Each structure stands twice: as structure tokens, then as C-alpha cells.
Structure 1
Amino acid sequence: MAVPDPKAGFEIPTSMKGEFIRVKSSFRDWITADGSSGYKAESGRYHLYVSLACPWAHRTLIVRKLKGLEQTISCDVVDWFMDGQGWSFTDKKPNCNLDTVNCCSRLREVYRIANPDYEGRITVPVLWDKQKKTIVNNESSEIIQMLNSEFNAYCANEEQKKLDFYPKTLQKDIDGVNEWIYPMVNNGVYRSGFARTQEAYDVAVRELFQGLDKVEDILSKTRYLAGKELTEADIRLFTTLIRFDLVYVGHFKCNKKRIVDYPNMWGYLRELYQIPGVADTVNFEHITKHYMTSHESINPTRIVSIGPEIDFTTPHGREAMSKREQGR
């Protein structure tokens, strides 16, 4: 959920110390394979509203892609520019489109269809139920778990059906990693970039790099965050790492180190990017233009930088880590 800029009409929630405070998601219903939750997994019934710039929405696109659910769950992509009224729809920019389900001009109108009295924040991703005409869920961590487990009957092939990014045997490890990576890294870049005092920034950015150092240490010993297999923990971290050197280093003042300066994390990031289908979900134009044009208080000129040039396609060498683990 990329956060609107105060000069564009929204106030960034902060504490008395100038610390950025992320507001919790409001819609938290669940889709189940058998429909016991009131929302049954069905092909063509559900729809995603996403931003290609937003790391939280990006998680859902990766799981949807890897699980082969693109024909099962439709998707609309908002404009990369967020103005004073929040996310909007356009077909005038590359890889954006109009609202194909509710014909709304802005995402806030979609929220109001779900709840006419809604006054909370307008965020992506949004998982919409076309049948009940409401928002099922707008919390990315829960949406990716639904896509991972509840739609297996509709995966494009058997291999995708077998993929499990939250296996029972690893759930404790996955939850343990997510528990500190979210506040320190995923949200840490925002806590740094949206800090309104030097004190708040100093605390946030130090914790951010403590988190990244911890990730680097883990990846020096195991191929993935929870061991030998790719899990949702890796997908959740990937969407932050892929944006880090591109926008967070400069735009959010997270410039103590770059991801390319961490040998294990840099190889790991390239490996995840090179997983078939993942690169299809990454749009660098949307990422750079959203952050650099939407956050007027950070970049008042709204000039989009030319670089950096980063090649995510070079050999990553992480196969050696699996061989090392097998030899233990």
C-alpha cells in the first residue's frame, strides 16, 4: 500500500515524534475452497485491483502468476501517479487500464460500493467479489495465502497446483522470518522515507539496515529465507528488494548500502527475478514514476531520475548454496 503524499491532499499518519504509522487494512474476509467462509473459490468470480508500483500489490501478482491463476482471477492496474484523490484508472499510460468491473474512475469509488460509509485509507491490493459486489480483502499477506491454497482446483497445470508457498512443515519458520522482516525491512523503507523528524528517520533507517544485515547473514547459510525451498517469505521480501536500489536508496534516503553491496542478497534477488514468470510482474517504469512523481514533499520537482542501471539477468550462482546445504 503505497502511501499518498500530504501535499497531494492526504496526511501521512505520523506520531508526535514524526514517525510514520501504517494504518491496518480494513477488509479481512477470507475465500475458502469449500465456501465455508461465505466466499467460495470459483473461477471468474474474483478480481484484483493493483498498482504495479506498489510492493504490497506486487506480492499478489507474483503468487497469481506462479500459481497459474491469471485466467481465474482477473485484474485491473491503476495509474502509477497518485494525486490528491488517491489511485485512479486510466488507459492513456502504458500497462494501465480502466476499471473493467465497476466502471469507476477512482479506486475510492470501488471502496464506497463495498461500504458507502467507508472513510478509511484507499489502498491496493484489493480483492473484489464480482458476485457479492464487495471487497473481500485488502491485506496483501492474507490475499497471497488465499491464492496459494484455496484456488488449487483452478491452477493452469498440475505443477502449479502442487506449488505451496506456505507448507505446514515450514509455517513456524516462515512466520518467524516475516515477523521481523515486515517491520524492519518491508515497512522499514517507508518508515525511513516518510519520517518527519531526524530522530524518527535515524531510528527507522538503523533498524532497516539491521534487518538487511540479518537477511544477508541468513542467505549466507541457506538458499532461501526458510531453508531449501522458496516460500511466501521470499516473495514478500522480493518486492521490497527489487525496488530498493532503484528508488528507496535515493528517494527514501536508504543509502547506507545498496542491495548490490550485499553479495548473498544480490545473488538471491537475481535468482528470484529469474524464476520463470516473476520478471513479467515487475514494471520498473511504474515503480520509478510512481514514487518520484506522487510524493511531492519528498521530490517537489517530480523529476524522475535516469538511473541506476541494474542488470537482474546475470548469473546468480545460488545453486551452489543448495549443494552446500546437501553436503551438511
Structure 2
Amino acid sequence: TVWRDLISSAPDAKFPPAAGRYHLYCSYACPGSHRALIMRTLKGLEDVVSVTYVHPTWRLTNPDNPNDKHRGWVFGDPLGQPFSNTINRGGPFPPAYTGNKPDPHFDAFSIREIYEVAHDTSGKYTIPLLWDSRLNTIVNNESSDIAYMFNSCFNAFAANGDLDLYTEDNEEGMAKLNEVNEWLSPLMINGVYRCGFAKNQRAYDTAIDELCKAFDHADDILQNQRYLTGNTLTDADIRLFVTLLRFDEVYAIYFRANARLVMLTPSLLSFCREIYQMTGVAATCDMEQIKAHFFGSHPEWNNYSVVPRGLGFMELLDMPHDREKLS
């Protein structure tokens, strides 16, 4: 099953815009979830689309069947017991971190069970996941679609309905956004994963070279203008931010993307400070849960789920920025 339906105001739409009808299943740890959360926050949709933050550390999703090895996102249980990783090492991880709560609809143990309620046949139990609580089915599980819908489909209910992070009424702005997306996604956002998943030195060298090129390109742009497309905040800036937020503390270590650091790149650090200090954005950023996911969910890479302390990147984000001078 491919879940790519859209919210639409068409008269016969299956999923019309409405307040209180849709629910976002997401994680503070997941970059795609984070993109959707920031869009929800900036648009002022907190009272329109409800949210559940799942536990950041993957667990076996069908623990009663020893032959079922699928691991993935589970719900927090504040009354539960601490647990180890999926090979019974490391941790112990708390049964819930800040904001992790049980499933409000079906009392499910895992996101997998939500997919099964919707009769999913794909077997890819990913988040973010936009759920229709009226029809009891999945609307969409693609982060780019969900971010777009939050930007464009709920304006009648949004506190900041006039904010448009896709510059849809500006052809020149859309052209600039599309130009940025041509390099941002394949080289920067996906680049960190290609470094981490490289199976040989040649593949890694190619990936890290391309990542450094994209990193430096973002640096060059943001030394001279406030945002990636100019003076207007767009979805591309949010996508870059959720990558940079994880870069020094996770990607540089876990994915061997250590040829660059945000904290040593003044323009990118200042850019992160500005986004982080926008109203409501800081509340979507939880480095403890980000680390718990990456360092705790893949025991084949990190047997004992030891979480590196890091250099205190989050503390740097509260310091003043000077991005206004570039406008």
C-alpha cells in the first residue's frame, strides 16, 4: 500500500481540511517528522492537528513472536519498565522520554499496529504518519507531502494562515526553491546517510566529497543572504535546519560525516540559531531523544547502545544571532 493521499478542498474530497480530524504520529528523533512538526508550529496548527510523539528507541514490534524480527517505532509508556536494545544490551532506556505517551486511538504498542488497523500491505511502518480519526485510516506517510499539506491545506484554521513556506504565489520564489532542492536533498540531506551506509572506501569517499561540497555550498550562500533562496524563509530552510541540528552530535560520529562541523562554520551556526529561536521551534528539538534513536536503535552498529556525550551543540543555539543584517 502506498499512502500518498492529500488533504483537498475539492467538493468530493475524501480528506477535506478540518480542525480536530487529523492526527500526526511522529518522533522528535526522526528528521522527516521534525520537518513536519516545525511546519505545524510555524503555521500555528497546534490546535488543528493533534500529535503523538513515539518513543525514540526502536524495539521489536511483535515481541510475542520470537520469529518476527521487525523492529521499529513504539509508543511511550510512562508506567512501563526500562528496557535494553533489541539484542538485550545497552541502556536501560526509560519507558518514556519527555512527551512520549501511549497511543490515543487504539492503545497500540507500536506504529506497526496503526498500519495494520489501516490494512497496510507494504510492511514499511514509517513515520511521520498523518491519520484520519474520522475514517480510521492513513492519509499520508511521506514527510514532504505532510509538510506541504500543513503549509497549504489548513490555512482557514491556521493561526498563521498567510505564511507560505513554498512561495506558491511567487513564480520567481518557486524557481529559486526548486533550484535549491536540486542539490539540497541528494547531496546534503541524503548525503549523510550515504556516508553512513557506505560499504567500501570508494563509496564513502564519493559520498563524503559530495556532502562536503553541498555543506560548503550552503555555507557560501548563507554567508551572503539570510535564507537559502534569499530573504524569504522556505521549506528548504527547514529541511536544512533539521539536518544541521543532527550533524555535529550524530551524523559526524555515527555516519562518519566528520569532515565538517556546524559549530565550526559561523554562517551555518548562526542560521541554526535563527531557526531555533523562531517561536515554537525550540520545543520541537530534543537532542536527548535524537541521540537515543540513532545510538540505541541499531545494535548491529552500536552493540551496547552507548550514547556519546558530544560537545554541547544545543547550548550554542540559545546565543544571539545576527542574521537580520543580511536582509
1:102 Cα deviation (Å)? Answer: 2.6
Aligned positions of 1:1-328 closer than 5 A: 26-34=2-10, 36-84=12-60, 85-92=71-78, 93-94=96-97, 95-116=99-120, 118-156=121-159, 160-168=160-168, 169=170, 170-310=173-313, 311-322=316-327
Code of the aligned partner of 1:317:
D
The 10-residue stretch of structure 1 (190-199 or 131-140) with the greater mean CA deviation from structure 2: 190-199
Give me the whole-angstrom Cα distance separating, in 2, the residues matched to 1:121 and 1:61: 21
Which secondary structure state, in structure 2, belongs to the residue aligned with residue 187 of structure 1? helix
Code of the aligned partner of 2:242:
T
Code of the aligned partner of 1:67:
K
Q: How many residues align?
A: 294
Give me the whole-angstrom Cα distance separating, in 2, the residues matched to 1:167 and 1:290: 33
Which secondary structure state, in structure 2, belongs to the residue aligned with residue 299 of structure 1? coil
Which secondary structure state, in structure 2, belongs to the residue aligned with residue 119 of structure 1? coil
Which secondary structure state, in structure 2, belongs to the residue aligned with residue 155 of structure 1? coil
Runs of 4+ in 1 over 3 A off after TM superposition: 33-37
1:200 Cα deviation (Å)? Answer: 2.0
Q: 1:258-291: per-residue Cα shift (whole Å, max 9, x none)?
A: 0122221111111111111110110111001111
- Contact 2:2–2:122 (CA<8 Å) still a contact in 1? no
Code of the aligned partner of 2:148:
Q
Give me the whole-angstrom Cα distance separating, in 1, the residues matched to 2:149 and 2:11: 12
Q: 1:71-122: per-residue Cα shift (whole Å, max 9, x none)?
A: 1111111111113421111223122111112321111111122224x13321
1:197 Cα deviation (Å)? Answer: 2.2
Which secondary structure state, in structure 2, belongs to the residue aligned with residue 153 of structure 1? coil
1:39 Cα deviation (Å)? Answer: 1.0
Code of the aligned partner of 1:270:
R
Which secondary structure state, in structure 2, belongs to the residue aligned with residue 131 of structure 1? coil
Which secondary structure state, in structure 1, belongs to the residue aligned with residue 224 of structure 2? coil
CA RMSD of aligned residues (A): 1.5
Normalising by structure 1, what TM-score?
0.86
Code of the aligned partner of 1:154:
F
1:198 Cα deviation (Å)? Answer: 2.1
Give me the whole-angstrom Cα distance separating, in 2, the residues matched to 1:135 and 1:174: 29
Q: 1:226-280: per-residue Cα shift (whole Å, max 9, x none)?
A: 1101111101111111111111111111101101222211111111111111101
Give me the whole-angstrom Cα distance separating, in 2, the residues matched to 1:308 and 1:98: 33
1:298 Cα deviation (Å)? Answer: 2.1
Structure 2 portions without partners, runs of 5+: 61-70, 79-95
- Contact 1:30–1:37 (CA<8 Å) still a contact in 2? no
% identical aligned pairs: 43
Give me the whole-angstrom Cα distance separating, in 1, the residues matched to 2:76 and 2:135: 25
1:34 Cα deviation (Å)? Answer: 4.2
Normalising by structure 2, what TM-score?
0.86
Which secondary structure state, in structure 1, belongs to the residue aligned with residue 134 of structure 2? coil
1:126 Cα deviation (Å)? Answer: 0.3
Code of the aligned partner of 2:318:
T
- Contact 1:35–1:41 (CA<8 Å) still a contact in 2? no
Give me the whole-angstrom Cα distance separating, in 2, the residues matched to 1:101 and 1:44: 13
The 10-residue stretch of structure 1 (26-35 or 205-214) with the greater mean CA deviation from structure 2: 26-35
